[in-house]
Amino acid sequence: MPRKTVREAINEALVQEMGRDPDIVIIGEDVAGGEGGSSGVEDAFGGVLGVTKGLLPRFGRSRVIDTPISESAIMGMAAGAAVTGLRPVAELMFADFFGVCFDQIYNQAAKFRYMFGGHARTPLVIRSMIGAGYSAAAQHSQSPHSIFTHVPGLKVVMPSNAYDAKGLLIQAIRDDDPVIFFEHKMLYDLADEVPSEPYAIRFGEANFVREGDDVTIVAFSRMVHIAAQAADVLEREGISVELIDPRTTSPLDEESILESVRRTGRLVVVDEGNPRCGLAVDIAALVAEHAFHSLKAPIRTVTAPHTPVPFAPSLEAAYIPSPARVAEVVREIMR
């Protein structure tokens, strides 16, 4: 099977779906780039990190739409196009920018169906980059997925690898509800085996990354890899880790998490978001409520601290949950 990076997998999903369905349009800032520039070069950007490269020459400007830097107008236009018959894939370049356009997402697109008594259909995908690791500092490095997960009416997807990225994006595009698709910027070059044909991965179905007996670790996006490194270390120490990647935070595969914790009796949640009112405590609460009597040790979370993302590489490294921190927390609840 061919190996492809996350970037290539996402691009392939877009190409294949756009080829299948003429109602799919790409909307965003510099999704192609070069429009109006003095060089005359088209597709000069192809997305700020090259994810949408090559779509413009294939599908033309009517379907690969470069916009002004106007996130509210982008999100509103995509929502309005979705509810009137298109199937837009809009790009919110960095998830941090949700602050300038969230109304169009959470007050408008997310609520159409409910507010309008079930008469609306809003097949909208918003692709957006999350994550620290590039020293991009406080306004280009955040992981605000918990805020989106909090909103009824939105589905939230957080792929951790290329295979999932392709299958989940195809599902997101075919889905008739608004879907937020979070791509971790540190994962774009990560490669694994990705089938060339289109396939969809259902939302709300966790991936059991590895099976184990002593502790359940639930992790999302890049944190799946951090947790896997910790699990390798722990295994050499005789601690058997079950690692679950739910892949979507909304819907959340609650059953898989609960079933695993009922077997292992221990839970650690690893999340790159900030700790308060976040995804990690959400899952901790789920288990406390429904699997309390199976627990052999306190539930633990490993998250970013309650701070903005710092710039200095040394501080940023301390901000991001590390394999060492995850391993140490597991050791503590194994004692």
Partner 1 sequence: MQLPRLTMLDAYMRMQRIRNFEERIVTEFSSGEIPGFIHSYLGQEASAVGTCMHLDDDDYIGSTHRGHGHCIAKGADLKAMMAELYGKRDGLCRGKGGSMHIADLSKGMLGANAIVGGSPPLVLGAALTAKTRRNGKVAVAFTGDGGSNQGTVFEAMNMAVVLKLPAIFIIENNGFGEGTAASYACGTDDLAARAAAFGMPAVAVDGTDFFAVHDAVGEAVALARAGGGPSTVETRCPRFTGHFVGDPQHYRANGEVDVLRRDADPLTLIRRRLIDAGVFDAEQFDALDRDVAAEIDEAVAFARAAPIPDEADLLADVYISYR
Determine if 163 is a binding residue for partner 1 (CB under 8 A): no
Determine if 310 is a binding residue for partner 1 (CB under 8 A): no
Determine if 73 is a binding residue for partner 1 (CB under 8 A): yes
Q: Which of 119, 140, 145, 290 is catalytic?
A: 140
Q: Which stretch binds partner 1 (CB under 8 A): 37-45, 170-178, 183-191, 309-317?
A: 170-178
CA 64 to chain centre: 22
Q: Which stretch binds partner 1 (CB under 8 A): 71-79, 182-190, 304-312, 326-334?
A: 71-79
CA distance linking residue 22 with residue 174, whole number of Å:
13
Determine if 72 is a binding residue for partner 1 (CB under 8 A): yes
The site string for partner 1 over 97-136 (x = CB under 8 A, - otherwise) reads: ------xx--xx--xxxxxxxxxxx---------------
The conformation of residue 104, written as its DSSP 8-state character, comes to I
Please confirm, yes or no, whether 140 is among the known catalytic residues. Answer: yes
Q: What are φ and ψ of residue 67, in 5° steps? A: -120, 165
User: Residue from 6, 26, 31, 82 that binds partner 1 (CB under 8 A)?
Assistant: 82
Rounded (10°) angle between helices 279-290 and 254-264: 60
CA distance linking residue 62 with residue 44, whole number of Å:
17
> Which tokens go with 173?
């595009």
Q: What are φ and ψ of residue 315, in 5° steps? A: -70, -40
Nearer to partner 1, 7 or 111 (CB): 111
Nearer to partner 1, 113 or 184 (CB): 113
Determine if 202 is a binding residue for partner 1 (CB under 8 A): yes
Determine if 81 is a binding residue for partner 1 (CB under 8 A): yes
Comparing CA positions, the residue from 64, 65, 45 lying closest to residue 53 is: 45
The conformation of residue 218, written as its DSSP 8-state character, comes to E
Which positions are catalytic?
A: 140
